[in-house]
């Protein structure tokens, strides 16, 4: 029985990370007994890492940790508590319909303003959770928000509630925040992109550590903005796309290939004409050659992700789009 729960718990942790990065990032297990397992799904390009890297431990900081349970927000400051506890209900999301597009600085991300997406997540046909993505904007910033939660049944023994936010300014990432509750694991990480100074700052609030990456002379996306950036690109057969990503204090380059086109039908009987894309995967360890991720994007300018599938040694994980509005 113990082994059964460990496997299921590992699956939920995997679902969170697969959903969060959609097609980029790494798979990691947040169990103390499994700290030695750390696999990457993407090819890392060593020659694009900035020249200087400085690690500084912050003493006597005022950084707040996220709560031990999802209802204990008293340990957070007001801004963090509002960020974490904001509802993920699809129908209750408030989108600004009064944006002055005449004065808005246009860039590839503006086409996605007011998007709302809800995904159901399944493991071998069993419903295990849901994810939400929505895009808001004002005159200065565009914000992409992502949340993922485990289902009521799964939450009884392994509760997952993650929230990520990417703030984009003038087409470049400005700030990325990730708060995580996954079983007993807690995460509170932040990335600040300062392209005027050529600097990326990564902060692990719970470990009280900050890392400065200086002399950054090219554009890197976080995992959320990177996926939307891909959706704005033109997809062609036999012409792989590349997106440079900064994720969890690491610089990586994602290569994405078009496998073909397909008309698919989801479990709700909705049909879509789609592109099938696949990231180039170079993994080591447990999921080597078994962690392929396939994504179905609508065959139009929006390139809406309608299905995401990953095959692993212990089953198949599928995220399906259930609701979409803009």
Label each residue of 195-226 as H, E or C: CCCCEEEEEECCCCEEEEEECCCCCCECHHHH
Cβ neighbours of 15 (radius 10 Å): 24
What does the domain layout of the chain look like in residue ranges?
2-325
Share of the chain above pLDDT 90, in %: 48
Q: Which two tokens stand for residue 184?
A: 């007993």
Task: Give backbone dihedrals phi and psi of 260, rounded to 5 degrees, phi first.
Answer: 160, -165
Confidence of residue 144 (pLDDT cuts 50, 70, 90): very high
Q: What is the mean pLDDT of the chain?
A: 75
Closest CA to 22 of 289, 204, 221, 262: 221
Confidence of residue 186 (pLDDT cuts 50, 70, 90): very high
Instruction: Round to whole Å and give the CA distance between 29 and 14.
Output: 7
Most confident of 27-36, 60-69, 132-141: 132-141
Cβ neighbours of 75 (radius 10 Å): 12
Average pLDDT value for residue range 98-110: 63
Confidence of residue 237 (pLDDT cuts 50, 70, 90): confident
Per-residue pLDDT at 16: 54
Average pLDDT value for residue range 146-152: 94
Model confidence pLDDT, tens digit, residues 262-272: 999 998 899 99
Cβ neighbours of 216 (radius 10 Å): 21
Q: Tokens 């139009």 label which residue? A: 300
Confidence of residue 17 (pLDDT cuts 50, 70, 90): low
More confident residue, 249 or 69: 249
Range of lowest pLDDT (44-58, 95-109, 303-317):
44-58
For residues 55 and 209, the answer to whether their CB atoms sit within 8 Å is yes
- For residue 26, the SS3 value is strand
Range of lowest pLDDT (21-25, 194-198, 230-234, 243-247):
21-25
Q: Which two tokens stand for residue 48?
A: 């694009």
Share of the chain above pLDDT 70, in %: 63
Q: Model-level pTM greater than 0.75? A: no
For residues 275 and 261, the answer to whether their CB atoms sit within 8 Å is yes
More confident residue, 138 or 29: 138
Angle CA 150–153–157, to nearest 5: 80
Give CA 168 to chain center in angstroms: 15
Instruction: Round to whole Å and give the CA distance between 153 and 305.
Output: 26
The helix or strand, by DSSP H or E, that contains position 154, with its residue range, turns out to be helix 152-155
Per-residue pLDDT at 283: 34
Instruction: Round to whole Å and give the CA distance between 234 and 241.
Output: 9
For residues 28 and 36, the answer to whether their CB atoms sit within 8 Å is no
For residues 218 and 244, the answer to whether their CB atoms sit within 8 Å is yes
Average pLDDT value for residue range 302-320: 88
More confident residue, 316 or 141: 141
More confident residue, 9 or 95: 9
Beta bridge partners of 8: none
Torsion of CA 72, 75, 77, 83, to 10 degrees: -40
Range of lowest pLDDT (38-42, 186-190, 293-297):
38-42
Average pLDDT value for residue range 179-200: 94
């Amino acid at each position: 029985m113990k082994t059964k729960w460990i496997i299921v718990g590992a699956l939920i942790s995997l679902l969170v990370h697969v959903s969060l990065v959609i097609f980029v990032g790494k798979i990691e297990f947040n169990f103390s007994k499994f700290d030695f397992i750390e696999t990457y799904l993407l090819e890392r390009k060593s020659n694009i890492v900035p020249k200087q890297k400085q690690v500084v431990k912050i003493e006597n900081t005022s950084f707040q940790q996220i709560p031990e349970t999802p209802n204990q927000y008293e340990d957070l400051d007001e801004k963090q508590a509002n960020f974490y506890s904001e509802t993920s209900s699809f129908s209750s999301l408030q989108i600004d319909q009064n944006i002055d597009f005449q004065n808005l600085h246009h860039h590839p991300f503006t086409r996605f303003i007011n998007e709302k997406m809800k995904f159901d997540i399944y493991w071998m046909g069993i419903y295990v959770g849901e994810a939400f993505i929505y895009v808001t904007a004002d005159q200065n910033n565009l914000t992409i928000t992502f949340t993922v939660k485990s289902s009521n049944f799964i939450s009884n023994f392994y509760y997952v509630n993650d929230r990520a936010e990417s703030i984009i300014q003038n087409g470049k990432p400005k700030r990325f925040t990730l708060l995580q509750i996954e079983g007993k694991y807690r995460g509170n990480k932040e990335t600040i992109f300062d392209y005027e100074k050529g600097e990326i700052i990564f902060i692990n609030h719970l470990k009280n550590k900050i890392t400065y990456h200086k002399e950054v002379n090219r554009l890197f996306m976080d995992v959320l903005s990177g996926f939307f950036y891909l959706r704005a690109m033109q997809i062609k057969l036999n012409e792989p796309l590349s997106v440079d990503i900064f994720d969890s204090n690491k610089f990586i380059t994602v290569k994405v290939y078009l496998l073909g086109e397909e008309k698919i039908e989801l479990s709700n009987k909705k049909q879509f004409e789609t592109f099938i894309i696949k990231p180039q995967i170079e993994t080591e360890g447990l999921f080597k050659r078994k962690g392929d991720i396939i994504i179905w994007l609508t065959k139009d300018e929006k390139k809406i992700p309608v299905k995401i599938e990953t095959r692993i040694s212990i089953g198949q994980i599928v995220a399906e789009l259930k609701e979409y509005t803009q």
